[in-house]
Amino acid sequence: MPGHALDLVVRYRKGQTYGVHTLIAALEVEPPSVPYELHLARTVDEVADRVCEGVEAGRRVLTVWSFYSPDAVTAAQELDEVRAATPAFPGAAVHLAGGVHATAEPLVTLRAGWDAVAIGEGERTFTRFVDAVATGTDWQGLPGTAHLDPATGTLVKNRTAERLPLDDFPSFPATRNLTSPIEITRGCIYACRFCQTPFMFSARFRHRSVASVREHVRVMRARGLRDVRFITPTSLSYGSPDETPDLDAVEELLAACREELGPHGRVFFGSFPSELRPEHVSAEALRMLKRHVHNRDVIIGAQSGSDEVLAASGRGHGAAVVEDAVRLAVQEGFRPNVDVILGMPGEGPQEAMATVAMMERLADLGARIHAHTFMPLPGTPWRDEPAGRIDDAARRSLAVLSTRGGVYGSWERQEGIAADLAGVRSPEAGHRTHRRRRR
C-alpha cells in the first residue's frame, strides 16, 4: 500500500492460524487511523526481512506472535533470530506476543524478549495497540497489555480489557482470502483443572448469534467454500447458559448453516476442532445431529477411566457415562473418537489401569482412542503439578491397542513437552507486579 505508515508483520505458523485470522478480522471492524500494510510471514527470515525493509523505508513496524505453551520455547528462539538478523535497528520495531501462553506467563514472555504482551481476549486490545504503534502514540498504558518497567525490570500489568460479545468481531476477515472454523462459543463453565480455556476466557459461556453465524457462512459460500466447521469447547452447549444442552438452539444453528450453504454444502459439528461432552450425548441429540451434519466421526472428551482422577480434575462426570455415550453414538451410526489424558495428577498404577481397561472396552465397542499425556499448562490450577508420565503397564497396553488401530496420538512426544513445561516455572509469584492506574 503506497504511503502506508505501518508494516504489520504477523508470524504466520501452521496450526496457529485461527487466532491470527480473528485478529486480522478485528482490524476490518476497527481499522487504525492511518494506513498500514499486513504481511503474513511464514518463516523467521520473512519476519526479519520485513522488519529491515520497513525501518529502512522510514515506516513504523509491529511484529505479532501468537503461540501455545508447548511452542513458547520455539517462538522465543525465533524472536532471538529476528533480533540477531536486524542488529542495525535495535528498538526500531515493536514485538508483541499474545495467546494463552502470553496471558498465563506475561513475565516469562517479556523476559524472553517481547516488548509487550496482550493478556486475555485480544481483539479490542489488538486494534488499539496497532493504532498506537501506527500513529506513534504511547501503547504502554493500554488495557489488556503488560510490559517490563525499563528501570526496575518488574512487570507492569495494565487493567483487564473488557470482554465483548462474540458478535462484535468475526472469526475471520471478510475481505481477505483467510478462512477459519467459526467460533460459536467462548469460555467454559466446566473449568477443568488441566485446561487453559476457562482461565483465559472466563468460566462462563458466551455464544455467537445465529445471525452472525449466517453472515460467516455467506462469506464462505461466496468464496466457493462448501464445508463449515466450528470452534467451541463443548459443542452441545451452544445456546445454553449452564450444564443443560439446549438442543433447540443447536438445531436452529445447524439448520441455518444448511440453509445458507445450499444443497451442496456440508456442516461438521462435534468433530475437530470441537468435541461433545459425554453426559450431553443422548439418542435425541444424536438423531438431531444426523438430520443436519455430514460428519459421522465425533469427538467425545473422556480424559480418564478413573472416577477419582475425573473428580480431582473437575470434569463433572464419571467414567461410566463415557461408555454410555460411546455405545449410544455407535448405535446411532457415529464413530466416536475418544480423548484420553494419561498421567494426570493423582493417577497411580491402579487409576492408570482403570483408564487402560476403559480404553480397551471402548475400542471393542468401535471407538478410536486419541491418547494424550498430561501437560502442566501455565494458567491452569494444575500448572505446578509434575509432568505427566505414562505408567509402564499402560504404555504396553497402548502399544497393543495401537497395532489394532484402536489408538492414535502423540502421547510419547507430549511426555517430553510436559517435562519441558514442568521445568520452566514462572517467577511471577516471587516478583512484585506494578499495576497502572486507570486513565
pLDDT per residue as tens digits for the range 303-360: 999 999 999 999 999 999 999 999 999 999 999 999 999 999 999 999 999 999 999 9
Mean pLDDT of the chain: 92
CATH class of 181-293: alpha beta
Q: How far apart are CA 141 and CA 159, in angstroms?
A: 9
Res 424 pLDDT > 90: no
pLDDT in tens, 12-26: 998 889 999 999 999
pLDDT at position 147: 98
Q: Confidence band (pLDDT; 50, 70, 90) for 421?
A: confident
β-pairing, 206-207 with 185-186?
antiparallel
pLDDT in tens, 183-211: 999 999 998 999 988 777 777 999 999 99
No. of helices (H) and no. of strands (E), the chain: 15, 18
Question: Cell for 36?
Answer: 498500514
Q: What's the average model confidence in pLDDT over 248-269? A: 97
DSSP string, 374-396: ----TTSTTTTSPPP---HHHHH
Q: Would the CATH topology of 181-293 be identical to that of 296-424?
A: yes
Q: What is the CATH number of domain 6-162?
A: 3.40.50.280
Res 437 pLDDT > 90: no
**Are 285 and 304 in contact, with CB atoms under 8 Å apart?**
no
Quick one: residue 130, left, alpha or beta (phi over 0 = left, psi -120 to 50 = alpha)? alpha
CATH class of 296-424: alpha beta
Q: What's the average model confidence in pLDDT over 408-419? A: 91
Q: How far apart are CA 153 and CA 136, in angstroms?
A: 23
Q: What's the average model confidence in pLDDT over 57-61? A: 93
pLDDT at position 1: 57
Q: What's the average model confidence in pLDDT over 175-182? A: 94
Query: Which secondary-structure segment (H or E) carries 341?
Result: strand 335-342
Res 428 pLDDT > 60: no
pLDDT in tens, 121-147: 889 999 999 999 999 999 999 999 999
Q: How far apart are CA 205 and CA 184, in angstroms?
A: 10
CA atoms within 13 A on the CB side of 227: 10
**Residue 242 DSSP code:** S
Res 81 pLDDT > 50: yes
**Are 378 and 348 in contact, with CB atoms under 8 Å apart?**
no
> What long-range pairs does 245-248 form, CB within 8 A, spacing at least 24?
245/280, 245/285, 247/284, 247/285, 247/288
pLDDT at position 183: 97
Structure pTM?
Answer: 0.92
**Domain boundaries in the chain?**
6-162, 181-293, 296-424
Q: At residue 38, what are phi and psi to the nearest 5 degrees? A: -95, 135
Q: What's the average model confidence in pLDDT over 215-239? A: 97
pLDDT at position 361: 96
pLDDT in tens, 87-130: 776 678 999 999 999 999 999 999 999 999 999 988 999 999 99
* 166-168-173 Cα angle (round to 5): 95
Q: At residue 255, what are phi and psi to the nearest 5 degrees? A: -65, -40
Q: Confidence band (pLDDT; 50, 70, 90) for 439?
A: very low
| Number of C-beta neighbours around residue 423 at 10 A | 8
Question: Cell for 280?
Answer: 450431553
More confident residue, 1 or 60: 60
Residue 380's nearest CA partner among 195, 233, 202 is 195
pLDDT in tens, 234-245: 999 999 999 999
Residue for cell digits 464419571? 318
Res 224 pLDDT > 70: yes
